[in-house]
Structure 1
Amino acid sequence: MKERRRQSTGRYAGKSATERHAERRQRFLDAALQLFGAAPGYRATTVAALCEAAGLSTRQFYEEFRTLEDVLAALHLQVNDWAEAAVLEALGRTEGRPLADRYGFVFRAYAASIAVDPRRIRMTFTEIVGVSPRMDEQRLARRARWIDLMCAEAAAAALRGEAADRDYRIAAAAFIGSVNGLLHDWAAGWVDATLDEVVEELVRLLLALLRPAD
């Protein structure tokens, strides 16, 4: 395994070493989104191909990453961070709205972040699966964050009297699995529906889980 090279710490072209480092790293991630998320896919991409797509050298690659799997891990986290930020922003903007309106808005924000770009869906639900125990652990850890968020929202809804007061962890895990599976199948063309129809169905499922029995 190659060791990462020591990076320069001086300024160049008006930019600090930290700024240059961040820009190079993002160029590699942008190139990886295309190669991993579209074609040829993570397993068929080489370091040389990624460097060519990013317009950077292999020396610069090893200054930022150790392996291609490190790039895959970073890109998977970035795509999930984008989606999480969109959801949190939507939750903040819809505080106080009726439950159905609130979660319709939230799911549309999530869909706008993930489903608007097929490459992001592939990175979230396909390319990371089965790569290594490390990647499986990261994928499940990110899923656990979504489950925690849903449980927190359910608990808050229960306090407002909008949801049954119970433990939602199993229901949240089942629901997140449904979201992942449905969006994957929709992106693959296996579900004959518009994205709005998919979102509306997910909102109906969520409300059925949350609403009190009466």
Structure 2
Amino acid sequence: MWTADGPPVSVAGFLYPTRMILIRLSDGTLFVWSPVALSVDLAARVDALGPVRHIVAPNSLHHMFVGEWQAAYPEARSYAALGLREKRRDLRWDEDLGDAPAAAWANDIDQVVMRGNRITTEVVFFHRASRTVIFADLIQHFESGWFTGWRALVARLDLLTAPRPTVPRKFRATFRDRTAARRAVGQILDWPAEAVLAAHAAPIPHGGRAAIAHAFGWLLD
């Protein structure tokens, strides 16, 4: 497993860092989660790891650079979270992501769909070999100073700069089906997680299950 950080992107006036995760599957091909901007240097580094065969958009917000990767790797299949196929009709989508892992990575990766949120439906992945759970937007944490001025105040209110990584307040407030969300978190906590990787938080190398339980404590209590 590897991570690669791309340049920040502006979303609703806020700068967000970008991060993708690459996993070499047991057949030697690469699973590319939430691709970032594709530079010549990054493409060379990726190509040295193996052939890109799976481009994965884990929710309806992480799609900005999928087209670049589809153009660079036409043999790769693209996988869309719920709602993304309709949102990005300009892109080619080969499969929709569900609760069952695709056959291509079923030997290496588990997944669960976090349904019932008005902002986005997110697919959470678990890489068995490294015991790592992968979140896109449902767990976030920014260091103090990343946001400034009025944006820092909004970020604090949204729990983006809470002492520990957690679910932003906007996502907490927009779960219309908490029963379904609670069920999905229960499945995630059943995984023997050691580490957590997220697009917008520092890696958590140890104590991953406890970190997830803390982040979703508001939902589980």
TM-score normalised according to structure 2 size: 0.32
> Which has a greater percent of strand?
2
TM-score normalised according to structure 1 size: 0.33
The structure showing larger relative contact order (alpha-carbon pairs under 8 Å, at least 6 residues apart) is 1
